[in-house]
Amino acid sequence: MRVTVNDGCQGCGVCEATAPEVFEIQDDGSVKVLVQVVPLELEQAVRNAAHECPTEAIEISE
């Protein structure tokens, strides 16, 4: 699984709270994706983050 964050992100921090090993809020409010490929053990957390994202900015590709 790969994950990206699109320009709709408002930096609310839900993703970082849900999967801090994968997402990090930067000082400017943008989100940095910390991994190229999501480890299997973190896939469910990333799916949860995508589901909870209020702007639907998290994009998952299998």
Q: pLDDT tens for the chain, 62 residues: list them.
A: 999 999 999 999 999 999 999 999 999 999 999 999 999 999 999 999 999 999 999 999 99
Residue that the structure tokens 């995508």 belong to = 50
* Helix (H), strand (E) at residue 51: helix 43-52
Tokens describing residue 33: 């994706």
* Residue 8 pLDDT: 96
Record the pTM.
0.93
Domains parsed from the chain with CATH numbers: 2-61 (3.30.70.20)
